[in-house]
Amino acid sequence: MSCTTTENKMPLIGDPMPKMEVQTTHGVMILPDDFAGKWFILFSHPADFTPVCTTEFVAFQKISDDLKALNCELIGLSLDQVFSHIKWVDWIKEELGVEITFPIIADTGKIASTLGLVHPGKGSNTVRAVFIIDPNGIIRAMIYYPQELGRNIDEILRAVKGLQTSDANQVAIPANWPQNDMIGDGVIIPPATDVKTAAERPKQFECYDWWFCHKKL
């Protein structure tokens, strides 16, 4: 019988990103230390030289400048060897005219096991996972997709913007922000926690009720 301990449990939102030394297409890196002071996105893909993953890498590269403007970096990962990553990146540049500028981790299986990236019912390939890590090395969001479903890359960019906006303004972010059907590009004020504050909220902000107030930034 096996058991899960605190030491080897899969990290959760709000946990520190596990420290690990990784081999990448840009050389050996230490995560999350090498991105200290920056946000970064660690994403896994099932395999190199596969159609859906190729579309994702091109899409990730196309938002890389937008992410850099947000002080956010990208790093990919799969169970392929580093020479496979290098050849695939070369193919993407030669055949599609897109240069992949972010590093890709060549995982032996240890990282995938630590982060819960392997779906036992789908063989040994990694699922499409996304971890958004803040400048303090804390996991702020985790998104998992099955192998057969490509990611919406714009949503990942939106998530980074939303988290940064929330942190900077101490607000919550509505559905489909910044194009929410109810409050547009507005943000939500945290709910009141006492009677006096609840009574004052409608005088200070636009509100549907005392517990649902919002504002423009």
**Which residues does the annotation mark as catalytic?**
53
Give me the torsion for CA of 43, 45, 51, 54, rounded to 10°.
40
Phi, psi of 17 (to 5 degrees): -65, 125
| CA–CA dist 194, 127 (Å, integer) | 44
| Cis-peptide into 178, omega within 30 deg | yes
d(CA 213, CA 37): 33
Q: What length does the chain have?
A: 217
Closest CA to 188 of 75, 176, 85: 176
Alpha helices in the chain (DSSP H): 51-62, 64-69, 82-96, 110-115, 153-169, 195-204
CA 48: distance to chain centroid? 20
Q: Decide: residue 18, CB within 10 A, 0-12 exposed, 13-18 middle, 19+ buried.
A: middle
